[in-house]
Amino acid sequence: MNNLINNEFFKRIFSLFIFVPLVIIPIFYNNYLLLIVYLFINSIIIYELNNLKADKSNICLINSGIITSCIAFIFFILILISYPNEKIKIVEIIFTIWIFDTFSYLGGKLIGGKKLIPKISSGKTISGLVTGIIITLLVSQSYNYIYTDTNYLNIILTLAVILFSFIGDIYASIIKRATSVKDSGHLLPGHGGFYDRFDSFIGVFFSFSLIGIFYA
């Protein structure tokens, strides 16, 4: 078990060194690179989803995954271009997603215990979810206390990111379960495909896009 955890952990750290430059640098460089990189990532995700085994029972799920991915990435790009002064806040949200995802995984592997939703995702546990929530709140609020301000709005934002991140992860698991695959692809060590890495990201920014439309 310990060897498995260490192996998967270092795979995730390796993926992080790929993920951070790929995702963060274009945000601060210029809008052209931002468009190219994020539309490229979205294109890979569409390619992965299109390559899943589709039939009458799951074609709607696959198409909905493609649609939500496109909306999430377009919304993300538009927010960064329209509100350049909010780039730091967007990066904070991205790191919040990563912290929750990573520590949910580590908590589940180290502590184990009762499965959360075994019919959808056999790897997710209640202990993992609780660990992810606690660590994410502690890290985000510690950061806010030191660099910005700890208030109820920041806590609500963190909880919203956690919720939508979890929904995105579960929705991806539903799609993969329906198509009988463990990973959407095999391009990223420790994470399978790009959809496996960005499912929580899609869940967060797709949900924020719906909230933006609702309050527009």
| Mean residue pLDDT across the chain | 85
Reading phi first (left if > 0) and then psi (alpha if -120 to 50, else beta), residue 115 is in: beta
Q: Hey, CA dihedral for 134, 136, 137, 139, is it positive or negative? A: positive
Q: pTM for the complete prediction?
A: 0.88
Q: What is the DSSP letter of 106?
A: H
> Is the pLDDT reported for residue 11 higher than 80?
no
* pLDDT on residue 181: 84
Angstrom distance (rounded) from CA 93 to CA 103: 15
Contacts of 79 (CB under 8 A, 6+ apart): 86, 90
Enclosing H/E stretch for 115: strand 115-117
Q: Is-contact 167 203, C-beta < 8 A?
A: yes
Among 142, 48, 129, 42, residue whose Cα is nearest residue 95:
142
> Is the pLDDT reported for residue 66 higher than 90?
yes
> Is the pLDDT reported for residue 153 higher than 70?
yes
Q: Report the range of poorest mean pLDDT among 85-99, 124-138, 173-187.
A: 173-187
Q: Is-contact 45 195, C-beta < 8 A?
A: yes
